[in-house]
Structure 1
């Protein structure tokens, strides 16, 4: 594939947006403004082309002698290789599934072979419940203990000062999110992983919200499991698990007797969503097309750097604006804490759904509301009575003009509904 090379100075938001059909204006359709990236991004044309190409050229199941089956076998290998370059892991460490949640429950069930009633599982108050409940359920099934790393109600970061008291010799598994899908807080997972490895605990990282915004390096992190979802980074709905081969090889899984015993196939029960894997390859190709380098990995890293810089500039403007509005309660970690361009806030005495509905009707703007399955933090911070948070989350296709419209709209809403 001939991929366009570009330097940082050549980054063009117009060219990037052209890769997303959902952003195109038509004579009879008012274009949407998508600020719901944390809930799922729009699909890049490369992903769409990959899916359509696989479907229209002839589909088949695996391991046949005929051409379409051979093509599908190759597709899975290509998909694992692309993900390996995205995450910097080995292709044989990549497994596909319905979604991150389903993969987490499947892995948790397998890990049950290693958990006893004398063990403890550590999760966090900051995380999406998809990285909490599979492991809590596992602990409950095995009568093991459960500990939570607490979230600070002042800084919206995890309280790590007592990490050695929480992660102990009894800890068998630690599950933590790389970045909050609500506040955008990027957690110091390196510190958590280091402590977990001191006591030989298994480490599971939820990178669903992080992969669209941050460069991944599975090898450098040294975790055992990393989970993500392609629909959060410009692709279709498919879950991805990177599992360190040292764990994956000995991981007992629930599977059909004739199914493959080797990794990664043994975790992939039943027929996979082949067209989604084709779309995943296209989504990674889109990221690659934003960068430069001699290898796909180099181009992906470079592309992510371009994306990060663009999102950082827009994010700084939004944060400054939200902090300047007295009626806005912004749930954002302080300066110096790494964060993704994801902003959760509330308005005094206003239900979150009222705000997002107003933006949808007035500005055709997609802004989400709710607890976003970070329900432990939502309960702790007391936002549920007002419908949860209002969340605006950026993707690389968002523009300064769209941000300006959001600022204009929020000021209008406050004038009409709050300061009346």
Structure 2
């Protein structure tokens, strides 16, 4: 299994500018087939959905193809796929939907490892419902979730556990299946933020134990939107506020207003593109995705090892904050006596894009008492060993 990185990179017009992109955790570059799918859908013909004219049928097809593509990517039925403007928007929506069933005395559990989009919506919904918030803590020595703290806060009063499948800053991948199994033993639902995880591994929502799983196509070569996956029978139990004439079928009851058909088409094209990254054959799109994402993982693992070896050579000038045994190819670091934002500016002047900040990871930074911005380097399928060396040389020159 292998990726032809030269052929892959030729599909990305933005790479023609000579930049080395390490900002994939904030949003990857876009391949030409995704942009072409968006343009072709927009220029149509295109109308609102219907069953009469070619333009209506094009809209219907965009929706159906989108649900089928993300059913294959996430391994759920097509009617378990919900489109949203973003993962944040979907989480806010579903925090309100689920909170309708919460009562005073109930509890929810959130994690210190998570992006704020999988923390604040739940805390705010709990405050409105009079529900207590409990926390899964981080082990500062390993940057892993402290599962002992998790077991201490679980109880028959727990209604929801919200946890990430991978930290967007540390790369830490907690044992989601174990977390979900323990939650289900007390009758709680499990909401998983898979935004960072889905960029690096093929997702199997049922196997993960997640009841609801959210991801963002723009983190894996697609356009800006969010996708939520869940079992249709669970979605049937949730009653969102909606317009009276709008559809009450699942999953459409959760999608408000006219869908952005061109964005759906681009998101579908991203899944199809991912399925071609390894040219091996497969009987189904899911099988091709499995092979391709395994190859992505191996490609990114090799680059991460090269990057980490180079950082070790810089000695005490660099402190690597990403420590977990099981993690994505995303590294967070601080620079001894130096401002990470100054490093970002220096690197950008060399055509190397590695951002500095806190990246909406409010809780990890607060829990681990990290002050100020840190430098984040995230690998994507189009990165090369030359990119890694450019980053290392640029950082060494800055230091």
- The 1-side partners of 2:113 and 2:100 are apart by 27
**Structure 1 range deviating more: 79-88 or 220-229:** 220-229
Q: Does 1:310 align with 2:299?
A: yes
Per-residue CA deviations over 1:176-199 (Å, capped at 9, x if unaligned) read 000001011111111100000001
Q: Does 1:72 align with 2:64?
A: no
Partner of 1:407: 392
SS in 2 for 1:200: coil
Counterpart position of 2:340: 352
Distance 2:149 2:254 in 1: 36
| 1:71-125 deviations in Å (ceiling 9; x for gaps) | 1112101100000000101100001011000011011111112111111110001
Q: Are 2:124 and 1:137 equivalent residues in the alignment?
A: yes
Give yes or no for the alignment of 1:49 onto 2:39.
Answer: no
Distance apart, 1:64 and its partner CA:
5.1
SS at match of 2:110: strand
Question: Residue by residue, what CA displacement relative to the aligned partner does 1:280-328 show, whole Å, maximum 9, x if unpaired?
Answer: 0110011111233110100011110111100000011112222332111
Measure the CA separation in 1 of the matches of 2:176 and 2:327: 13
Aligned counterpart, 1:206: 193
| Displacement of 1:244 | 1.8
The counterpart of 1:190, out of the listed 160, 173, 177, is 177
Contact 2:113 2:145 in 1 (8 A): yes
Contact 1:178 1:186 in 2 (8 A): yes
Alignment pair present for 1:259 and 2:246: yes
CA offset digits 1:385-413 (Å, max 9, x no partner): x3x21001000100001101111111111
The separation in 1 between residues aligned to 2:114 and 2:260, in whole angstroms, is 27
What per-residue deviation string (whole Å, max 9, x for no partner) do you get for residues 351-373 of structure 1?
21111011001x11111111111
For 1:221 and 1:127, the matched residues in 2 are separated by 17
2:166 touches 2:197 (CA, 8 Å); kept in 1? yes
Aligned residues: 396
1:383 & 1:32 partners in 2: Cα distance? Answer: 30
Question: Which of structure 1's runs of 4+ aligned residues deviate more than 3 A?
Answer: none
Q: Which runs of 5+ in 1 are unaligned?
A: 1-7, 25-29, 415-420
2:282 is equivalent to residue 293 of structure 1: yes
Tell me the secondary structure at the aligned position of residue 175 of structure 1. strand
Residue pairs, 1:6-405, within 5 angstroms:
8-9=1-2, 11-24=3-16, 30-63=17-50, 65-291=52-278, 292-324=281-313, 325-334=315-324, 337-361=325-349, 363-384=350-371, 386=372, 388-405=373-390
**What secondary structure does 1:242 align onto?**
strand
Displacement of 1:67 after TM fit? 1.1
Counterpart CA distance in 2 for 1:214 and 1:167 is 28
Q: How far apart, in 1, do the equivalents of 2:149 and 2:270 lie?
A: 40
In structure 2, the residue matched to 1:5 is none
Partner SS state of residue 341, structure 2 = helix
Query: How big is the alpha-carbon RMSD for the aligned residues of Structure 1 and Structure 2?
Result: 1.1
TM-score normalized by the length of structure 2:
0.97
What is the TM-score with the length of structure 1 in the denominator? 0.92
User: Do the aligned partners of residues 164 and 382 (structure 1) sit closer, same or farther apart at CA in structure 2, a change above 3 Å counting?
Assistant: closer
C-alpha contact (below 8 Å) 1:37/1:232 kept by paired residues: yes
Q: Contact 2:112 / 2:135 at 8 angstroms: preserved in 1?
A: yes
- Greater shift in the superposed pair: 15-24 or 275-284: 15-24
CA contact (8 A) 2:11 2:31 kept: yes
CA distance in structure 2 between the aligned counterparts of 1:123 and 1:21, rounded to whole angstroms: 40
Does structure 1 conserve the Cα–Cα contact (< 8 Å) formed by 2:177 and 2:207? no
Q: CA deviation at 1:223?
A: 1.4
Q: For residue 163 of structure 1, report the CA deviation from its aligned partner.
A: 2.7
1:152-191 CA-partner distances (Å, limit 9, x unpaired) = 1111110002432111111100000000010111111111
Cα offset, 1:20, TM superposition: 1.1
